[in-house]
Amino acid sequence: MGRYKQIDHTADIAVSVSGSNVEDLFQTASRAWRQIVMGNSEIAGVESQDFTLRSESLEELLVECLSELNYLLIVKHWIFQDYSNLHITRLSSDYKLTARISGEPLRKNKHRIELEIKAVTFHQMNIRKAMRHLETIIIFDI
Amino acid sequence: MFAAGYELNPITDYVWEISPSGGMRVPGRIYSSRKMIEKYLQTDESVKQVVNVAHLPGIQKYSLAMPDIHWGYGFPIGGVAATDIEEGVISPGGVGYDINCGVRLIRTQLNLDQTEKRLQKLIENLFQSIPTGVGSSGAIHKQSPKEIKKILQKGSSWAVENGFGEATDLQFTEENGCLSQANPEVVSPRAIERGQDQAGTLGSGNHFLEIQVVDQIFDEKAAEIFGLFSGQITVSIHTGSRGLGYQICDDYLKILVKAIPRYGISLPDRQLACAPIQSPEGRDYLGAMAAAANFAWNNRQIIMSLAHKSFVKTLNMNSRDLGFELVYDVCHNVAKIEEHQIGDVRKKVCVHRKGATRAFPPQSSQLPIRYQPVGQPVLVPGDMGRYSFVAVGTQQAMEDTFGSTCHGAGRVQSRHQAIKSGRGMDLIKELKQRGVIIQAKGMKTIAEEMPYAYKDVADVVDVMHHAGISGKVARLRPLAVIKG
């Protein structure tokens, strides 16, 4: 299972994420995002929906993915809990993510959004191999 | 002296220059004091960002940084760059995610004695009437996409037409609260969706509404013309274009990153993603950014009107006695087409101000007639425990900084460090001892925004005062604060 750690950044929120493979990296990055915005709120996986994204690079795909989860929360008031059947595949000119995501509608009496993320940035993002895992830094503009 | 590996040559005690090298098209100029450079810029990436910005095609005179400079996305926060509109580029990194984040200052006819006992009730009522916090919504009815497009086109005047404030408020808003280049047709449906229920909301982070008292006057004449007097109650609102602006920045960063190779632009950092101002991508970004700027002005106009109603109701006063009037509204994250003197010629340039405030001089035709004798009010908020400043623009700002000055204090501690520093402290009591009542959604925001997390804004304002860019007019002490 992947790991993440918040690192100090004066103005924004930075997190260092690692995973055993690309799916694990994305799953861990999504957990990190959820922890940052939702803190310790308990999220149930009572609803699920298809989740498909395409981008030209893995970094763009990761930014797209976290931006989409953020959009679902802020605009659709739906909180991501977890993935099932997460697959990231390389196509001839781009990358594709397919998954089913589970979560639940945001309820003011149960959940509390801890932090508003303005955007997921490309700042310092570079998915690279380190020993036997993949890692990157993600900076959230807040 | 050196900072972050770059040699800074003193031009004066408050202006430091980085000579052009490599692909730099112009020198870098940082407004700061020796003490602040030693304290804040030794390891900060922002100095390198000043150098990077100097590489932008069409940049004029200098890549500038204000004393509240810190590390940002592409451009430093506190960065100013003007590019030639024919041959230069426009960059979303030079504006920031929160397009037209800005400050609005409102004066009243109240003094501290009349208000002190009612402050708690006032701030509670303001907190009730102005949606605050993450994803805050519902200040006014959710607007249809068609209506949002009208806001994007009209800016503050949409609010006035819909009963939020007076037509005179527009005169006292930078650009009269509307950038005419706004083009709602190049704003994505998702950005519009994000704006539908956020008009009139404060948001979170460092955004705030503050009741203040004027506790020091430095320039009697300017203060009088701005309608400010010692002991007077004022209200400041600091917010921007909310999710709609963030989405526009995000959308166009993606588009402009792909445009860089198409126009053969060579950049030291891809976060400086940009396109020629005259290209389709550049024109579209300018139109979308202006639309977000208009959304932000409309937002602050609605919040002002909601605050006005709260004051009238809580204090049970009529509007005339209350005298709740706009001093000025400035934006500090924007790119605007302006005319400036470059050497011997007057030229149209695109002035990027990212964490920088316009500071136009006396007699400027852009100012309301009332302010023309002294210049533009510049609003510089500090942290919630100390003070904010009102300053005034100067002719020297026009000559040296494209009519720009500082915008705030700037963080010195990360949010994580600030929370750690506040551990074991009763933060609400701590603020109360400083004479500040706080209303916030949670303790975490209070901990993150404590005064020790920020530079002393007085140091920042003093640099620009001594550099002759913006003169100090008045100091405002916070009495009661709403945080998101």
Q: What DSSP letter does each residue of B18-64 carry, written as one string?
A: E---TT-SS-EEEE--HHHHHHHSSS-THHHHHHHHTTSTTB-S-EE
CB B75 within 8 A of CB B94: yes
Which of B77, B98, B271 lies nearest to residue A123, judging by beta carbons? B271
ipTM value: 0.90
Which pLDDT tens digit goes with each residue over A68-88? 999 999 999 999 999 999 999
What pLDDT does residue B43 have?
Answer: 86
Q: What is the rounded distance in angstroms from the CA atom of residue B173 to the CA atom of residue B156? A: 9
Residue B442 maps to a domain: no
Residues spanned by the domain of B243 = 2-412+454-483
Rg (CA), chain A: 14
User: Which chain B residues are Cβ-neighbours of A113 within 8 angstroms?
Assistant: 133-135
Give mean pLDDT, residues B161-180: 97
Q: What is the rounded distance in angstroms from the CA atom of residue B206 to the CA atom of residue B195? A: 19
Give mean pLDDT, residues B366-395: 97
Residue B329 maps to a domain: yes
Domain with B374 in it: what CATH number? 3.90.1860.10
Closest B-chain CA to A7 = B416
What amino acid positions of B are annotated as catalytic residues?
407
Residue B449 maps to a domain: no
Number of structural domains chain A divides into: 1
pLDDT band at B416; cut points 50, 70, 90: confident
CB B155 within 8 A of CB B297: yes
Residue B142 maps to a domain: yes
Residues spanned by the domain of A135 = 3-141
- Does the beta-carbon distance from B71 to A11 stay under 8 Å? yes
Number of structural domains chain B divides into: 1
What pLDDT does residue B329 have?
Answer: 98
Hey, which residues 201-230 in chain B have their CB within 8 Å of chain A?
A: 203-205
Closest B-chain CA to A122 = B271
Asked if B414 reaches chain A (Cβ–Cβ under 8 Å), the answer is yes
Please state, in angstroms and as integers, the Cα–Cα distance from residue B94 to each residue in A61, A102, B91, B349, following that order. 24, 38, 5, 14
What pLDDT does residue B30 have?
Answer: 98
Residue B419 maps to a domain: no
What pLDDT does residue B138 have?
Answer: 75
Q: Which of A49, A87, A93 is nearest to A71 (CA)?
A: A49
Residue B137 has pLDDT above 80, yes or no: no
Asked if B195 reaches chain A (Cβ–Cβ under 8 Å), the answer is no
CA angle (A7, A12, A16) in 5-degree steps: 30
Please state, in angstroms and as integers, the Cα–Cα distance from residue B147 to each residue in B197, B289, B304, following that order. 11, 18, 20
pLDDT band at A1; cut points 50, 70, 90: confident
In DSSP terms, A48 is beta-bridged to: A102
What pLDDT does residue B18 have?
Answer: 98
Residue B331 maps to a domain: yes
pLDDT band at A129; cut points 50, 70, 90: very high
What pLDDT does residue B270 have?
Answer: 81
Domain with A27 in it: what CATH number? 3.55.10.10
